Amino acid sequence: MPWPLRWFARVLTVLVALALVLAGVLVYTVRKSFPQVDGTLRLPGLTGNVEIYRDKSGIPHIYADTAADLFMAQGFVHAQDRFFEMDFRRHTTAGRLSELFGKATLGNDKALRTMGWRRVAEQELPGLDRQTQDFLAAYAKGVNAWLDANPNASDRSLEYSVLKLQNGEYRPEKWTAVDSVAWLKAMAWDLRSNMEDEIDRALALTKLPKERVDQLYPGYPYDRHTPIVTEGALSQGRYDQRAEPQVGGVRALSQAAATLDAVPSTMSSEEREGIGSNSWVVSGQHTASGKPLLANDPHLSPQMPSVWYQAGLHCRKMSQQCPYDVTGFTFSGVPGVIIGHNDKISWGFTNLGPDVADLFLEKVDGDTYLYKGEQVKLETRQEQIKVAGGDPVTITVKSTRHGPLINEVMADAKPSGEANAVALQWTALTPGKTVDAIFALNKAGNWPEFRSAAALFEVPSQNLIYADTTGKIGYQAPGRIPVRENGDGTWPVPGWTGEYDWKPDFIPYDQLPTVEDPAEGFIVTANNAVIDPRRYKPLLTKDWSYGYRSERIRELVKQAIGKGKIDTGTMSDIQQDTSNGFAATLVPELLQVPVAGPAREARELLRTWDHSQGLDSAPAAYFNAVWRHLLMLTFDDDLPEQVWPGGGDRWYDVVAGLLSTPEDPFWDDVTTKDLTETRDDILRQAMASAYQELADMFGTEFRSWKWGDLHRLELVNGTLGTSGLAPVEALFNRGPFAVPGNKDAVNATGWNVQKGYGVTAVPSMRMVVDLSDLDKSRWINLTGASGHAFHDNYWDQAEAWARGDLLPMNSNPESVKKSATHTLTLTPDPSSHPAPSP
C-alpha cells in the first residue's frame, strides 16, 4: 500500500476509534439517567408497598393503600421521567431562569418577577384545604426521594450533563409544595383571555380611526354559530336551566327565528359548520352502548416533551381515606389528574376565555400615582435575580391598586396619551383554591359532587363538560370572573378616574351558566361563546373564538346521529376532521375574479375541492397559500407590525365582511402611489402570489403540490432544543412531521400566516372516554411519557398522533396488569421510620 494511503488509513482508524469512544460515552451518559422500572426500590417515607405498572408506552399506573403513598409515588414517577422539565418550569414560574441560562433569559425573569407568580403561590398555599397541603407535601417528598437517589448530573438527565458544560455550579434544589402551586399560575397565564386583544386594539388605533379598528373585531355571529348554552337564564340570583330570560322581545325573536329556520330554502343553502380546544359529550340516547361518550383535545403550543403526562392513580381499596381511582392526563410537577376519568365520572376542559385581565393606564409621578384626584403612594418591592456567569441584577417592582406596572418589562404594554404607565389587573394574581379543585374533581362521584369541585376551579376559567356511568351529561362554567364598574374590558382604560375599577365581588358561582342533560342530547364546547348576551346579562367577555370549530363539530355530531348510533370510532373521526370553515365563503369569490397566467390554471384546483385539508391535498395547499397572501396584502400595510393578522377565525369574519364591500379602504395598498386597489385587485394578486410561492418551492406542476409538504410540525425541546447549537438541538428535537388540518379546523393544527406554514399549535393530546366500559376508552399524547432524549418513550406516540390513531386507555386492574411490560415495587425504608418506644 503506498504510504499516503497507509497514512490515511491510520488516521481514519484513529478517528473511527475516537468516534466509537465518544459515542460510547454519549450512550452511557444518555442511558445512565433512564429510570428503573422493574424490580424493587426502597422509598423513604412510604407507609406501605406501592406497585407501578408500565405498558409499552411507558404509561404508569400506580397502586397504593393510602392517598399519601399514592401521591408520593406519583411525585417519584414524575421525577423519574420528567425532572428536568419540572425543574425548568419552576425556574420559569419563579422568574429564575437566569440561574440556569445566564443573561439570555434576564428579560423573562424581570417580567415574571414583576407579576409575582411565585409570591402569589406562596400566599395561596396556607389557604388551601389541609388535606390538599398534605398531598402536595407527600408529592414533594416523592420527588425529593428521587432527587436524593440521583445526586449526579448524569444520573438525572442528559440536559443536566449538557448544562454542566455551561453552568457547572448549578445544583437542583429540593422540590416544594409551592413549586407545584406556582405551575398552575403558568397554566392560567397560557390560558388567559383577551389581554393581547386589548393591546392590539390600542396599537391599531395608532394608525387607524376607531371605526376601522372596530371592523377588525366583529361581534360573535350568534345567528350562525350556536353558543354552548342555549337553555335557561338567571332567576332569583341563580342560573336556572328551565328559566326564560326576562328581556323584552328576546323570546319572541327566538320563536320567529325558529319559524324562519323551518321554511325550506329554495335558492340557497346555509352551511353551518376555530386556535383553542375542543370538547364534546354525547348522551346515551345517541350512542351504540346506551351510555355517554366524552371527547377532549386541548390545543396548545407543541412542546418536547409534551406538556401532558398520562398516568393512572389507584387506591387498591376505595375508602374515605383513599378515594382515588383515576386515569388521565397529568402535569409533571403537580399531583393528581387534570383531565380524565375516575371509576364513575369523566370530565374535559376547553378554555372558557372570560375577560379576567384588564390593562389600566396610570399617571405615575415619582413614587406616587394619581387616583380619584389624589396622589397615592406606589407599592414597591425589590427583586434580586441571580445570573449564571454574571452579577446579580436587582429590579424594583411597582404596583398601583390595579396591579403591577408592566410597561417596563413587557414590550407591547406601552403607555399612551397622558398616561405614563400600564398596570395589569388579573384574577390569578390573587390567591385562590384551584389546587383544591384537582383533588375534588378526581374523587367526585356524581353531578352534584362534580359541580362542587368545579366551584373551586377559579383560574384559569374553563368550560367543564361532564359524563357519568349512570348516563348523565352536563356542562359547567366555573371561574373567578370580574364585574366592572364601567366598560367591557376590550380596551385599556384610565386607572386614575376609578370609574373602570373592578367591583369587590366576582360573578357568583351559582349565577354562571350550567346545563344538565340538554334536550338535544349533546354538548359542544370549542372556545365559542358560552351564551347569547340577550339571554344572560353578566359580561363574560366579548372576545370569543368565532365558533367555526364548534359549529363543525355540531354538524358532524348531528350527521352521525342521523346515520345511526355513535361509538368511540365516530368520536375519533370527528376529532380528525380537516374541513376548512372559510373555504365555502372565499372560494366562490376567488372563482369569479378574472386572473391570467398559470394562477388561473391552479385556481381550477378549487372548483371541485371538498374543503378537506389532508396531507396529499393540492387544493388545500393552494387555498392556504392564497389565504396567507390575501391577509398580508390586505392588512399588513394598514396595521403596526405587532398586530398583523395571524390567520385565526376572527379574520374569517373580518374578510367575510370586506368581501361584500369591494371599495373598502382596507383593500387599498397604501404603499402604492396614484393607485387605489379594490377587492378584486387584491384577490387576483393573492392568487398569483400564492402560485408563485408554491411553484418556487415545489415546481410548476400544481397538481402534485401537497398540503403536508407545507404544513409540518417540528417537535422542539423548550430549553436546549432552542440553544442555537445544531449538535445540541439534534439531541433533543424530533421531526418534522407532515400533519393534516388547519388553524380552525376541528383537527386544529395552527400556523401563522406571517411566518409560513409550519405548525405552531396542536391538539396537545386526544381522549375519548366510553362511560359504558371505561376500558374501551382511548387516548394519545403528542410525544411520549419520557422526558429523556433517546429513551424508547421519548416520542413514541408522535407518529401515531400524527396519523390520528388512539391507544387503549386502560384503567381496570386486570387490563392494566395484562398490558404491563414493566412492574416496579416501591417499599418503605425501615431506616426512615423511628423505632417504637420500649
Angle at 611 between CA 607 and CA 616, to 5 degrees: 95
Cβ distance 387 to 448 under 8 Å? no
Q: What are phi and psi of 714, to 5 degrees?
A: -105, 130
What is d(CA 333, CA 621) in angstroms, rounded to the nearest whole number? 40
What is d(CA 669, CA 671) in angstroms, rounded to the nearest whole number? 5
Residue 190 confidence (pLDDT): 80
Single-letter amino acid code for the residue at 831? S
Q: Residues 68, 27: one domain?
A: no
Strands 822-828 and 50-54: what pairing? antiparallel
Segment-wise mean pLDDT, segments of 10 residues, the chain, 838 residues: 42 50 58 93 97 98 98 98 96 95 92 94 97 98 97 90 87 97 88 80 92 96 95 91 60 21 27 63 98 97 96 97 97 98 98 92 95 97 95 96 86 68 93 96 98 96 97 97 94 95 96 97 97 94 94 98 96 98 98 95 97 98 98 97 94 97 97 95 98 98 98 94 90 96 96 96 97 98 97 97 98 98 95 50
Q: Residues 14, 130: one domain?
A: no
Tell me the CATH number at 40: 1.10.439.10
Residue at 592 is within a domain: yes
Residue at 247 is within a domain: no
Q: Residues 65, 44: one domain?
A: yes
Q: Residues 120, 27: one domain?
A: no
Residue 263 confidence (pLDDT): 21
Of the residues 710, 740, 767, which one is the last residue of a structural domain? 710
Q: Residues 49, 105: one domain?
A: yes
Residue 668 confidence (pLDDT): 97
Q: Residues 81, 20: one domain?
A: no
Residue at 368 is within a domain: no
Q: Residues 68, 165: one domain?
A: yes
**Helical pair 649-659 and 618-635, crossing angle rounded to 10 deg:** 70
For residue 298, is the peptide bond before it cis, meaning its omega torsion is within 30 degrees of 0? no
Cβ distance 779 to 807 under 8 Å? yes
Residue 269 confidence (pLDDT): 30
Residue 256 confidence (pLDDT): 18
Q: Residues 179, 50: one domain?
A: yes
Residue 236 confidence (pLDDT): 86
* CB burial string 135-150: b at 16+ within 10 A, e below: bbbbbbbbbbbbbebb
Positive/negative CA dihedral, 761, 762, 765, 767: positive
Name the CA radius of gyration of the chain, rounded: 28
C-alpha cell at 238: 341563580
For residue 758, the tally of other CB atoms under 10 A from its CB is 14
Residue at 434 is within a domain: no
C-alpha cell at 184: 398552575
Strands 778-781 and 765-770: what pairing? antiparallel
For residue 486, the tally of other CB atoms under 10 A from its CB is 10
Q: What distance separates the 2 farthest-apart alpha carbons in the chain?
A: 101
Q: Residues 64, 168: one domain?
A: yes
Residue at 25 is within a domain: yes
Residue 414 confidence (pLDDT): 61
Residue at 245 is within a domain: no
Tell the residue number behind the cell numbers 475516537, with chain if given: 18
What is d(CA 351, CA 188) in angstroms, rounded to the nearest whole number? 10
- What 3-state class would DSSP assign to 600? helix
Q: Which residues, at least 6 apart from 408, have a Cβ–Cβ distance to it below 8 Å?
A: 114
Q: How far is CA 267 from CA 66, 177, 263, in A?
A: 67, 64, 12
Residue 187 confidence (pLDDT): 85
Of the residues 710, 737, 770, which one is the last residue of a structural domain? 710
Of the residues 660, 680, 710, which one is the last residue of a structural domain? 710
Residue at 186 is within a domain: yes
For residue 114, the tally of other CB atoms under 10 A from its CB is 24
Q: Residues 50, 183: one domain?
A: yes
Q: How many domains does the chain have?
A: 3
**Helical pair 3-32 and 158-166, crossing angle rounded to 10 deg:** 110
Cβ distance 93 to 120 under 8 Å? no
- pTM of the full predicted structure? 0.92
Residue at 288 is within a domain: no
Range of the domain at 23: 6-35
CA 511 distance to own-chain centroid: 26
Q: Residues 706, 824: one domain?
A: no
Tell me the CATH number at 656: 1.10.1400.10
Q: Residues 16, 44: one domain?
A: no
